[in-house]
Amino acid sequence: MTTSHVKRAYKYRFYPTDAQAAELSRTFGCVRKVYNLALAARTEAWVRQERVNYNQTSAMLTVWKKTEELAYLSEVSSVPLQQCLRHLQVAFTHFFAKRAKYPHFKSKRKSRRSAEYTTSGFRCRGGVLTLAKMSEPLDIVWSRPLPEGVSPSTVTVSQDAAGRWFVSLLCDDPRVQPLPATDTAVGIDVGLTHLLTLSTGEKITNPRHERKDRARLALAQRHLAKKAGGDGANRARARRRVARIHARIADRRRDGLHKLTTRLVRENQTLVIEDLTVRNMVRNRSLARAISDAAWSEFRSMLEYKAAWYGREVIAVDRFFPSSRLCSRCGTLASRMPLNVRTWTCGGCGTTHDRDVNAAENLLAAGLAASVCGAGVRPQRSTPGGQSATKQKTSQREP
C-alpha cells in the first residue's frame, strides 16, 4: 500500500546568465502566444456552439509550428507550450463547472511571466537543475534543502515585475505529517487596528507593511508618472523601481503571515474564523488600502491549507453572524454597535466587553456549536454572479 504525501512547492531565487535570460524570455513570449492562439480558437468554436479540447489544440500547435509566421515556436522547448494548453483546459473546466469566469487573454505587460516544465523538460540531480534547450545549469540559491530522496515532478520558472527570477519545484513532501491531536480551540477575529484578536484575549498588532513604505512608494510612482509613455529605458527603470518597493512590501507581509498561521495551526486543533467577502469590502474607498494591506484572504488561504496538511480543522462562521453585538456571557444582542465603540457594557448582565475579544469568543462558541450539531457554518465562498457576493457591505464589518 502506497502512502500519499503532500504536494509542496519549494521556491528559490536564481540568477540566469544572459543567454539563459534571453532563452527564458523567448519561452515566456511563446507560452503567451500559444495560450492566446488556443484561446482564440476555442472562443471561435464556442461561438459556433462547438467545443475544442486539449487534444485538438495540441494538434493545432503542431500545425502552427510548420507555418512561416509561427516557425519561431519550434526554437523553444515544447514542454512549456504543451503545459500552457493544459492550463487552458483546466481554466475551461472550471468555467464549465461555474467555478470561474471565462478565460481571458494573456497581456504582454500585465500577465505573469512564467513557464512550467514537466519531467521530460528538465534534469535535476545532486542539487543541479538544467532546463531543456539549455547547456548550463541554473545558478540557484538553495536557501533550504529539498526533501531527501525526492525528485520534483514539475519545475516552474518565473520572473516578477521587479525583474527577479524564481524557480519553483513541486515535490511530494514526506515530512508533512498530521500533528498530535489536542483539545485546544481558538476563535479568530480579524481587524485593522489589530490584525488578529484571539478568543484567549491575545491581540496581534497589525504591522501595516504598506504604510511603512508609503512615502518611498509615492515618490517612485511620481517619478514613473513623469516619464514618457512607451517602452523607453527611463520608464522601464522607473517601473522596476516601483515594482521593487511593491515586492518588498509583499515579501514582508507574506513572511509575517506564514509565521503567524504556522504558529496558530501548531497550537490549536480547531480554528474558527469569520467568512468574509473581502472582494466586496475593498469597494469602500476609505478602507480599501488598509484592508488590502491586512491581506485577510491570504491569511485564510494559508490557514486552511496548513490545517489540511497537519490534521487541524478550520471552521468558517457565516458572515452575517452578529459576533460584535452579541454578549458572550448571557447572549443579549445589542441593537447597534458603531465602529468607534471599542468597549461596551451588556444591558442584560452588566458585563463590560472588549469589542474584538468578545467577537472572537462568540465566533469560537458559534463554530464549535455548529460543528457539533452539523449546521452549515462554512457557507460557500463568493461565486460568480451569486447573491452572497453582493449582499455583504463594508459597513457591516468592523475594523
> How does pLDDT run across 90-106, given as a tens digit for each residue?
999 999 999 999 999 99
Return the active site residues.
Answer: 189, 274, 356
| CB distance 203 to 356 below 8 Å | yes
Q: What is the pTM of this model?
A: 0.83
Long-range contacts of 386-395 (CB under 8 A, 24+ apart): 388/277, 389/277, 389/279, 389/280, 390/280, 392/276, 392/277, 392/280, 392/281, 392/319, 393/280, 394/280, 394/281, 394/283, 394/284, 394/287, 395/284
pLDDT at position 171: 92
- pLDDT of 155 > 80? The answer is yes
Q: Is the pLDDT of residue 382 over 90?
A: no
| pLDDT, position 141 | 96
The mean of the pLDDT values for the chain is 88
Mean pLDDT along residues 60-77: 95
How would residue 373 be classed by pLDDT, with cut points 50, 70 and 90? low
Q: What is the pLDDT of residues 103-135, one digit of tens each?
A: 999 998 889 999 999 999 999 988 899 999 999
Percent of the chain past pLDDT 70, that is, above it, reads 92
Q: Is the pLDDT of residue 392 over 60?
A: no
pLDDT tier, 319 (very low <50, low <70, confident <90, very high otherwise): confident
